[in-house]
Structure 1
């Protein structure tokens, strides 16, 4: 397939980070798109469906950990008479965090909930939902990049910063270390950071989590092309791409990509570019690294943290690792 396309006008200068990232990724070799752009109204909805899938074990493992250890987590700041902030990076609909919110409210814990999400839609919906169901909750939501939000809310109030859902797996090792070093600079000595890590395990269990039988993960990946069509007047045809997951047990990297079924050209009018894809060529969309406990320890130490404790599910598929800055 080699489709005819219209001429496009070159873009003088990208006017947003999204435009710049899409241009860079789709003109690179190999081609890639950053996974943080998965999320719009459709992407948010699809990811919520993914989290409820039988194959997506990560959700149930982390729910189990938070349920089993909610009293223990509440005790981190129990000795202090001062309120603390529960900062939730990548809050989404707070599906898992609500376990802690319900428990803290029930126990009359003095706290403020601070959800942070790049999706403005997610923050608006979450704030409305929580105010409706927990009218007494103190909530201050931020639709920002994580580090930008942490800089805005930096103060002397003790904080428990959540980074759930194994989102750190989307970072390279260098990116992860830099990310945590920057978080450390925004933390006080008494603050804690709780991070979800997906652990290395049987290959098939991992592959099934990223290639569910209902095809929801496929739709989630393809929605990124639909988003680019809408935002930048592009002409991606999603039915000309296949969703391709893979896993390397040595590196622990689970990868997702979209593979072109044909030779094709795509015009992205607003960006002033035309990209060419050969049959079988991949657009890489996500890396989700799985960790060994030794790698978590090394990452913490190299980022200026010490591990307070690791909390596990019954299968040891997942851990919520609690860190304090050195």
Structure 2
């Protein structure tokens, strides 16, 4: 097995500083919010892996269906020498792409990127063990900040899967897609997964499962505040809420205070008051329409060459070329 290279562009201290900034801004706002980034400590990553296997949570299965079916076409179209995966997590879905690109005879390297050093290292070592001919170069960093440091021999295909693009509000989404385009040479590729608009009952169930795993995942953001900033939030004081916003066509996950309370966050210098019933928004997850995805890619400097969905038309995967 080749040695695994792990390059660190974000330390634990960097993460704490970023969390402090977000807490000061989001928890001081009239309508409180926190970015979805802060779900993902080691426990949060494990909970999300559990979510992907739940019967209500269709996106992972739908996207995997597309990747398993279309990976050879992706390999043929891109001729990629390097596969870059943003927000890699466990990299399980990526194996279909690795297999197809390796079978096509072009792939020489895999670059997984993730904000969690432990999750990234574990995934990178597992890939290196199963694909000993690949150079595995992991990057610990934030894909909204550290894109310019991504290594890899062109032509590259950057995979941003799982519908994670929906966690960005529209303006931030446009900025992010442009930043991806800026690090790619003309003719390189973006493989983008997008969850599609569908009936609200199916959408809400995917974020409010019967077993309560998503509720535990949602409340984990409070555990992160406690561990990193010395907060005294009691997750039991907050109720999980998932709601469909038809105007914006996104799911919102929120935490609703069960009683009047104050959360002390000494690491951010804040005492945060919650009224009974007050909401803290922890995630938006936008859902997309095919023409809208194509337009957003075009605005960012990409031409969408291929569009695939699963058989039930629940989830879309775009292969877009940098122009």
Is TM-score (shorter-chain normalized) higher than 0.5?
yes
2:91 — aligned with what? 94
Instruction: Give the Å deviation of 1:311.
Output: 1.2
Correspondence list, 1:285-300, <5 A: 285-300=282-297
1:111 aligns with 2:108: yes
Q: Does 1:316 align with 2:313?
A: yes
- The equivalent residue for 1:66 is 67
Match among 198, 201, 204 for residue 204 of structure 1:
201
- Which of 246, 251, 262 aligns to 2:243? It is 246
**Which runs of 4 or more aligned residues in structure 1 lie more than 2 Å from their structure 2 counterparts after TM superposition?**
102-111, 131-137, 147-150, 153-156, 248-251
Change (3 A) 1:32 1:98: same
Matches of 1:74 and 1:118 in 2, distance apart? 27
Structure 1's 40 and 65: CA in aligned 2 closer, same or farther, altered over 3 A?
same
Q: Do the aligned partners of 2:82 and 2:154 also contact (CA within 8 Å) in 1?
A: yes
Q: 1:95-121 CA deviation, whole Å, 9 max, x = no partner?
A: 211122233344544331000111111
What is the rounded CA distance, in whole Å, between the counterparts of 1:41 and 1:223 in structure 2?
10
Paired residues, what number?
309
Secondary structure of the equivalent of 2:64?
helix
Query: Matched residues in 2 for 1:239 and 1:15: separation?
Result: 24
Cα distance in 2 for partners of 1:113, 1:216 equals 31
Counting only pairs closer than 5 Å after superposition, residues 1-326 of structure 1 correspond to structure 2 as: 16-78=17-79, 84-153=81-150, 157-326=154-323
What root-mean-square deviation, in Å, do the aligned CA atoms of Structure 1 and Structure 2 show? 1.7
- CA distance in 2: counterparts of 1:77 and 1:15, whole angstroms: 38
CA distance change for structure 1 residues 26 and 144 in 2, over 3 Å: closer, same or farther? same
Gaps of at least 5 residues in structure 2 are 1-14
Q: CA deviation at 1:146?
A: 1.3
Alignment deviations for residues 71-99 of structure 1 (CA, whole Å, 9 cap, x no partner): 10110234xxxx61100001000021112
Q: Displacement of 1:323 after TM fit?
A: 1.2
Aligned-partner Cα distance in 1 for 2:58–2:309 = 13
> In 2, Cα distance between the equivalents of 1:125 and 1:246?
34
How far apart are the structure 2 equivalents of 1:271 and 1:262? 23
Tell me what 1:8 maps to. Answer: none
Per the TM alignment, residue 200 of structure 1 is displaced from its structure 2 partner at its CA by 0.5
Pick the structure with greater CA Rg: 1
> Given that residues 124 and 136 in structure 2 are in contact (C-alpha distance below 8 angstroms), is that contact kept between their aligned partners in structure 1?
yes
Q: Secondary structure in 2 aligned to 1:275? A: strand
Alpha-carbon distance in structure 1 between the residues aligned to 2:299 and 2:229: 40
TM-score, length of structure 1 as denominator length:
0.91
Which deviates more from structure 2 when the two are superposed, residues 86-95 or residues 99-108?
99-108
8 A contact 1:194–1:320 mirrored in 2:
yes
